Structure 1
Amino acid sequence: MTTQNGEDKLIAVARHIAQTLGHTDNTMTDDILQIFSSFDNRLREKLTQNITMHKTNSSLDRTVKNLERRIGSYLVGDDPIWGDHDDAVAFLDAVDELTEVIQEWSDVSDDDKVTSCLDRAEELLRKCCVKLEDEFRVLVDFPGGVDFLESGCDDAIPASTVRDLGEIAKRMVAAGYGKECSAVYSGFRRGFLEESLARLGFLGLRDNDNDNDVEIEKWTKAINIAVKVFYPSERRICDRVFGSGSGTDAVTDMSFMDVCRVSVLELLNFANGIAMGSRTPERLFKILDVYEVVKELLPEFEVLFSDDYSLFLRNETVSVWKRLGESIRGIFVELENLIKRDPVKAAVPGGGLHPITRYVMNYLRAACSRPTLEHVFEDDVDQSLASSIAWIMEVLESNLESKSKVYRDPALASVFMMNNGRYIVKKVKGDVLGTVLGDDWIRKQTSKVRQYHTNYQRSSWHKLLNTLKLDNNLASNVASKSLKDKLKVFNSQFDEICRTQSTWAIFDEQLREELKISVAGNLLPAYRNFLGRFHNLQDIGKYADKHVKFSIEDVEARIDDLFQATAVSGSSRR
């Protein structure tokens, strides 16, 4: 410590002598110290360090002054530097040199004079970056841009402009002004994207317009072009402007995210609006359309927005897609509720097809024709598509059974259930809906229709058939009276049944014929046997025909006239 203090005092004395002699520069001080060092070797090392530092300071000062002179002319005035290629190259070279000087001298900035020079250099670099930012703004807002959808160009900015932007961005990033450069770039490119989407007819989410088919069509076109054309182009331009090396990845990724963020969120907000709308069954197909578009584009979203800066865009895309799926599954729950709430009201005339049956079956056929629906339900761990539709069918059947109780005639109630059950089976068979529900379900439903058929026969014709039963143990005179009474009852009941059931409806032609054949197959043999016995009675004999109102042919004709309301009530059914 004592030695150091002594050296410092000698240096101070040398400076004082130099000042006394009228010299304020460091050269005279160094000369005096050199004389002192000839008497004391300990001063020789100090002298060497002092001379080296002096020469170095002078060199830095001269370098900064030179750069101030070279760069200063470019900083004066508003004329763009990039109007002249040679000027642009010279300016960039000077900025490179200035940046290199600052980086090189930052480690020895403890010296006051070095610090002073570095302050001047850093201020000069700041002014350079301000100028570069202005030049960057002019270039990125170029008037010579192209509509690359119409021109067939790969990107919306000419390659020469991209190169110039890249040269500027490289200097600004190296100087620590990457964020400022990115902000300018992103602002202009973001505006370009929004204008491009507007030209495609997409104006973002507006009041209640997003459920319109035309708006969905515009959105579909816009998001497809954005994800397949616009965003890949913006990614390429970002990579070329800001580079893709380890030192520039952050600026590149941040810029790309900032360019795309607003338009991506607008497109996703539209889809989210669809997902968050009402869950009325009629909206299913619109939501499926949007779901399919997002699902198809998910892999491209994953690739485009794979960096950490874009993670939230990727996550939001997946979230919107999942919300669309939830909405679709929710619509099936609402369909169940719609069926349950469908009021009994008045009975369908003639036991025909109920509108709710036709609506539900046509709806489910159309829904199951969309393969995407199966994928939607794969995400639901609690319920598959098959179990959901099977439950809806159960709810529908229960609702129809409640409606059948409106009919006072059990036979007509059976016809109603038979009509609707047969319609359900026909809609399911040979359709994707049948594949979903499975063969076992179809067999069970077909068995139920047969049971309704049996119930109809029992409640409608069995009583009439009982009147035709013969008791062979009766005496002739008693048998004659009994058969006359039976025939009278038969005539009345048969006429009433035929009159009534001619107004009933069987929508399915095959089912209608099956019923007629079944009725005829049971009734005609019994009636023929009855008439044979009746004609053989001795006390009736040739007078038998006066008691017989319906011949075999008449009965056949009346059976054939059953269910005539079909032409009216069933002709428009699909």
Structure 2
Amino acid sequence: MADQNGEEKLLAVARHIAKTLGNNNNMADDILQIFSNFDGRFSRENLSERGGDDDPRAGFAALEHTLKSLDRQISQYVSSDQPIWADSADSSAFLDSIDELIATVSDWNPMAGDKIVGACLVRAEDLLQQAMFRVEDEFRSLMERGGESFDLVHGESTGNLDFDSEDDEEDPELEGVMRNGHEDQIPVAQPISDYDIVVDALPSGTINDLHEIAKRMVVAGFGKECSHVYSSCRREFLEESFSRLGLQKLSIEDVHKIPWQDLEAEIERWVKASNVALRILFPSERRLCDRVFFGFSSAADLSFMEVCRGSTIQLLNFADAVAIGSRSPERLFKILDLFETLRDLIPEFESMFSDPYCVVLRNEAITIWKRLGEAIRGIFMELENLIRRDPAKASVPRGGLHPITRYVMNYLRAACRSRHTLEQVFDDSGVPSKDYPKLDDRVSSSSSLSVQIAWIMELLESNLEAKSKIYKDSSLCSVFMMNNGRYIVQKAKDSELGSLLGDDWIRKHTAKVRQYHLNYQRSSWNKVLGILKLDNNGSLAPNVSAKSIKDKLQLFNMHFEEICKLQSSWVIFDEQLREEIRIALVKILLPAYGNFIGRFQNVPEIGKHADKYIKFGVEDIEARINDLFQGTGKGSGGGRR
């Protein structure tokens, strides 16, 4: 029966072709003769018996007959309560019927203007729609059933998907593979450290079946419906995967409400999840789309976009929320993590999201990456403001190291560990050096990051100078600047920070510390040295009475003791600097004091009673100097008495 129906259709098609191509009866006869020579079934007699090319009613009857036959075949599958793809013979027969129906509609569409043919085609389209509804259900069912198990195809190295360790211990054979806890759950990929891996979330046989269905749906004009069913299933897979990776669905407002300490943990999860998504999950989805919709690139692109769009937006929205949030300096390092992660993933965005459907996602990723760069530059501006706002009156006791110095220098050292990233950020900013008028030409001609760092150092130095003026004692002012200047130079040396600032900068600021040292010596000890001053040949000035000499010694004792008592409570934080200052004091003070005492002892009026007036021996002077800058205030005792 089926053979007879097929032959009827074949002859009907031949008559239709002859009639369509032949402009007149003679041409139609010639075409029919060619058919007859090719196959005896196309003899003019056979064609004439069935009505010939001049009798279209036979062709219409054949169309009617074909549609009735297809209706019976397709309807039995459409109305079946059993999954058609449970039996390969049924699925094959069903697809053959759909193919025949699609071909019939295509063959007769040129004659759709005919009233009878038009009516038949309406029925055929209705039948095709019913068939598409059923294959859509079958497509969804295959997706859901196929998702109950999947394989992981590794590259050269092996990834360990170790998320649920208890399950792995119970079933060692499933090590490296994420498993279902319940049959109705969609399996998801686990977080891993090795990105050389592809997730095949559907068995190969299922993928082939899905491809066969997708091919018919696209040809029949139901490509969007097929893509929608496909994407709805795969979206759920990705959403569950993101959940297993620890990502929450957070709005921008939600992100801004999270305390920074908690947000740091969220950023760490985001970095890991983004790498897994862009390097494993999304490429695997792209691969699956291309296999299911092989030969139909537009449908594959649309499906991939619909699958990944929500998850991609979830990732990008989080990064965007952080980028437009607070620019407190403490946030720099985590925002650098976001920036670097997104920067390194831009090639993945460009390779996977390049088609017309996805290009908006790629462009959004690039935009948010640049916005993170703006946030980093904004954080450095906020650091500048923090330095400017630190009140000048907030000096530290005893001339020690100011907290703002410690904070800024350690902050910059840590930041400069990401030097190459920061150079990229600031080189893209295009801020001209003329915006930093106080910087010398050598710095302003350097990289944008070098200029930025040098400017911050300039602000810090200006702030410290203002703070130093709060001290009423000029010597303590110099000690304060020595302490902070030394710390700045030491922190800059042997680090990326010093490399950015340059050797000239280091030399210049080392010289400044030496100048503060000289200022301290002059302001603290010049008066004392003046008391001990001898004439040019090393003798006491002539005509100096014994009383005047005694007064000079008493004056020295008083000033020396006052200085030691005061400055023993001062602080030099750097042990090497403290030793350098002491050595310098010993070198200038001990020879002058020794000479003075020697000459004092030789004054005739004093003679053997000299020791009665000498409070400090040379060793005592050195011991008292060694007690300076301890921060203890114990410099009031000691001496020969």
TM superposition score normalised by structure 1: 0.86
Match for residue 225 of structure 2?
180
Match for residue 217 of structure 1?
268
Task: Output aligned runs, 1:471-490, within 5 Å.
Answer: 471=535, 476-490=542-556
Give, in angstroms, the shift of residue 381 of structure 1.
1.4
Cα distance between partner residues in 1 of 2:220 and 2:456: 67
Q: Which moved more, 1:462-471 or 1:199-208?
A: 199-208
Determine whether 1:387 maps to 2:451.
Answer: yes
- Counterpart code for 1:430: D
| 1:145–1:158 contact (8 Å) kept in structure 2 | no
2:418 aligned counterpart, secondary structure: coil
- Counterpart code for 1:233: S
CA separation of 1:161/1:209 partners in 2, compared to 1, >3 Å: closer, same or farther?
Answer: farther
Cα distance between partner residues in 2 of 1:306 and 1:123: 37
Give, in angstroms, the shift of residue 475 of structure 1.
7.5
Cα distance between partner residues in 1 of 2:53 and 2:212: 41
Give, in angstroms, the shift of residue 62 of structure 1.
2.2
Q: Which one has a bigger Cα radius of gyration?
A: 1
Match for residue 615 of structure 2?
549
Determine whether 1:561 maps to 2:610.
Answer: no
Task: Output aligned runs, 1:108-507, within 5 Å.
Answer: 108-142=111-145, 145-146=148-149, 148=152, 150-151=176-177, 154-205=199-250, 207=254, 208-209=257-258, 211=260, 212=262, 213-243=264-294, 245=295, 248-371=296-419, 372-382=421-431, 384-471=448-535, 476-507=542-573
1:370 aligned counterpart, secondary structure: helix
| 1:389–1:437 contact (8 Å) kept in structure 2 | yes
Q: Deviations over 1:395-433 (max 9, x none)?
A: 111111111111110000000000000011111111111
Cα distance between partner residues in 2 of 1:441 and 1:310: 49
Q: Which moved more, 1:253-262 or 1:194-203?
A: 194-203
Give, in angstroms, the shift of residue 71 of structure 1.
1.6
Task: Output aligned runs, 1:58-73, within 5 Å.
Answer: 58-73=61-76
| 1:82–1:88 contact (8 Å) kept in structure 2 | yes
Q: Which has the higher helix share?
A: 1
| 2:278–2:349 contact (8 Å) kept in structure 1 | yes
Cα distance between partner residues in 1 of 2:75 and 2:60: 22
CA separation of 1:475/1:282 partners in 2, compared to 1, >3 Å: closer, same or farther?
Answer: closer
2:210 aligned counterpart, secondary structure: helix
CA separation of 1:84/1:566 partners in 2, compared to 1, >3 Å: closer, same or farther?
Answer: farther
2:500 aligned counterpart, secondary structure: helix
Give, in angstroms, the shift of residue 127 of structure 1.
1.2
Q: Which moved more, 1:404-413 or 1:283-292?
A: 283-292
- Counterpart code for 1:151: V
Determine whether 1:98 maps to 2:146.
Answer: no
| 1:477–1:539 contact (8 Å) kept in structure 2 | no
What CA RMSD, in Å, does the superposition of the two structures yield over aligned residues? 2.4
Give, in angstroms, the shift of residue 476 of structure 1.
4.9
Give, in angstroms, the shift of residue 331 of structure 1.
0.7
Give, in angstroms, the shift of residue 49 of structure 1.
8.5
Give, in angstroms, the shift of residue 93 of structure 1.
0.7
Cα distance between partner residues in 2 of 1:202 and 1:496: 66
Cα distance between partner residues in 1 of 2:334 and 2:496: 20
Cα distance between partner residues in 1 of 2:361 and 2:369: 12
| 1:64–1:121 contact (8 Å) kept in structure 2 | yes
Structure 2 regions of 5+ residues with no counterpart? Answer: 1-24, 30-47, 153-160, 162-175, 179-197, 433-447, 635-641
Q: Which moved more, 1:492-501 or 1:77-86?
A: 77-86
Cα distance between partner residues in 1 of 2:581 and 2:371: 50
Match for residue 83 of structure 2?
80
Cα distance between partner residues in 1 of 2:298 and 2:458: 58
| 1:95–1:125 contact (8 Å) kept in structure 2 | yes
Q: Deviations over 1:533-569 (max 9, x none)?
A: 222222222222222222212211111111121899x
Give, in angstroms, the shift of residue 483 of structure 1.
2.5
Give, in angstroms, the shift of residue 52 of structure 1.
4.1
Cα distance between partner residues in 2 of 1:78 and 1:131: 11
Cα distance between partner residues in 2 of 1:52 and 1:507: 113
Structure 1 regions of 5+ residues with no counterpart? Answer: 1-40, 569-574
The alignment-based identity, stated in percent, is 58
Q: Deviations over 1:350-392 (max 9, x none)?
A: 1111111111111111111124333322322116211111111
Determine whether 1:511 maps to 2:577.
Answer: yes
Q: Deviations over 1:99-129 (max 9, x none)?
A: 1111122122222222222222111111111
Cα distance between partner residues in 2 of 1:433 and 1:52: 94
Q: Which moved more, 1:47-56 or 1:333-342?
A: 47-56
2:470 aligned counterpart, secondary structure: coil
2:54 aligned counterpart, secondary structure: helix
Q: Which moved more, 1:199-208 or 1:502-511?
A: 199-208
- Counterpart code for 1:359: Y
